Amino acid sequence: MKHGGDPPFKNKADRRDWLDLSTGINPQSYSVQNLSAADWQSLPSQFGLDELQSAARRYYQVPDSIGIIAVPGTEAAISQFPAFCPGSVDIIEPTYSSHRSAWSADGRIATSRSALPAKPAQNHLVVVNPNNPTGELVAPGELLAVARSLVPDRFLFVDEAFMDCTPEMSVVPHLLPDMPVIVLKSFGKFFGLAGLRLGFVIGHPALLTEFSNRFGEWCVSGPALKIGAAAFNDTQWQSTMRGRLGTKMDTLADLLSPRLELVGKTNLFLTCRHRDAQGLHHFLADHKIWTRIFSYEPDWLRFGLPETEFDLMRLGQCLAAFDEPLGRP
């Protein structure tokens, strides 16, 4: 279930005419600088990988006793989880559909749950936190309590792809070596560089060694090593961007709230309810504005952040035009 599909760009020139609000990717990406020809010509180095993972460890506040490995994007990591974790899985849904797809593709039984289990959990458990698309956050203490309730050889998978704007809610700083918790991190969303294909898996070092072996050497490109380390070390950019994203999201929410009912949000996306969400989605698409719709909740519509004031004005004008002809509330 790919949440509305990709924007219908016909070619590179056509792409420039579209306002793509279907993703939760920061439209103001981290500035890539100081890449040399050697960064592109050379194979990734162990030194570069060590630099990246050390910077990521500091950024994500990973305890010294917990491992962290870089992977070529979170989708690649999600697809590998079932291969080394026998057993069935419970998934807190609705949520990001790739988790269910990965377990189902491996022939596993994937059971949907609407909330964390209240009694000892018998299966692996997948929690996206904050959730995509509802934005719901689960406190670290609740997740750790669930992890302690798991039967032996079962794991709690926590996908924190959108946690960068609320790092104080991450479960990572609270992890201990004996906890059966695996945390997934996305680099591209907050830093606005999804095309770099960089992610991280955090958990018990022995488990991560086995997991890392599935990707082999040089699974992360040399430019990704260098750009990732620079971005993680740029604390001033991070602090400024968190404030900026919060302000931009408040502005977007103010624009949408008179016409749509808020379902939930993070500072990178906002999900709303509208009685004709499908019609609004197609109307916006006719005006080359692409949003995200959901087969399991047909009255939901998700918006990412517009990059500029002009983009925001363009969205507002289209929303007004959709309401006026049919007298919609």
Asked if residues 154 and 290 have their Cβ atoms less than 8 Å apart, the reply is no
Report the chain's terminal Cα–Cα distance, integer Å.
30
74-78: long-range contacts at Cβ-Cβ below 8 A with a sequence spacing of 24 or more? 74/159, 74/161, 74/184, 74/185, 74/186, 74/199, 76/197, 76/199, 76/215, 77/184, 77/199, 77/201, 78/102, 78/159, 78/184
Sign of torsion over alpha carbons 308, 309, 310, 315: positive
Distance CA 271, CA 263 (A): 5
Distance CA 267, CA 166 (A): 9
- Token output for 317: 């004008």
- Token output for 36: 């040399």
Per residue in 246-267, pLDDT tens? Answer: 999 999 999 999 999 999 999 9
- Token output for 328: 């919609």
Per residue in 156-186, pLDDT tens? Answer: 999 999 999 999 999 999 999 999 999 999 9
Fold of 12-28+236-326: Aspartate Aminotransferase, domain 1 (3.90.1150)
Pick from 159, 98, 102: which is nearest to 128 by CA?
A: 159
Task: Please give the pLDDT value at position 150.
Answer: 93
Q: 37-233 sits in which CATH class?
A: alpha beta
Per residue in 290-313, pLDDT tens? Answer: 999 999 999 999 999 999 999 999
Task: Map out the domains of the chain as residue ranges.
Answer: 12-28+236-326, 37-233
Pick from 203, 221, 224, 222: which is nearest to 212 by CA?
A: 203
- Token output for 13: 């020139």
With a pLDDT cut of 70, the percent of the chain lying above it is 94
Q: Which pTM does this prediction carry?
A: 0.94
